[in-house]
Amino acid sequence: MTLPAIRIIGIDPGLRNTGWGIIDCQGSRLSFVACGCIHPAPELEMGERLRQLNMGLLDVIAQYSPSEAAVEETFVNRDPQSALKLGQARGVALMAPATARLVIAEYAANLVKKTVVGSGHADKNQIQMMVRVLLPASNPNSPDAADALAVAICHAQHRNIRTRVSA
């Protein structure tokens, strides 16, 4: 019996750059579909920047029709104002797939890194390199797009574990 392919969107939230990556997962086989980054204009008011993030993610979801979404939980150790702004971007990153009625999972950054690289403290270069190894056809044009693909890969690996346990 062949398992059906599941299309997953991974999202790496950020107010300046929100990375997205789309993969297909069929059993343990992963295939690259697309990736990119949404860049709201920094000179705009906060509400308009968040609207641009939302519209960008909804456009990607409409174009590629994923059935599941994975969003990276953000960790910020800077000032509270930065944490609040990042939290607003993360809210949009959750709301867009929820609006499209996708199944949504959230993953800590350390779990994403450990799943993809083998170390929970991997840097962005290591993540980009392993994403290219795991998805040879991929072409992440930014660290944010590579991170989003890593989030999607993490979800593919962990959803497979949940599926095997419940079967």
Q: What is the CATH number of the domain that holds 94?
A: 3.30.420.10
* pLDDT for position 165: 38
72 catalytically annotated: yes
What does each of the 167 residues of the chain score in pLDDT, given as a tens digit?
A: 677 889 999 999 999 999 999 999 998 899 999 999 999 999 999 999 999 999 999 999 999 999 999 999 976 667 888 888 888 999 999 999 999 999 999 999 999 999 999 887 888 889 999 999 999 999 888 999 999 999 999 999 998 554 433 33
How much is the pTM?
0.92
Catalytic residue among 68, 72, 79, 106: 72
Which one of the listed residues 24, 68, 144, 147 is annotated catalytic?
A: 144
Overall domain count for the chain: 1
- Which listed residue (12, 48, 123, 147) is catalytic? 12
Distance CA 127, CA 94 (A): 23
Q: Is 59 a catalytic residue?
A: no
The answer as to whether 1 is a domain residue is no
The reply to whether 147 belongs to the active site is no
Is 110 inside any structural domain? yes
Query: Domain range spanning residue 35?
Result: 6-166
Question: Does residue 104 lie in a domain region?
Answer: yes
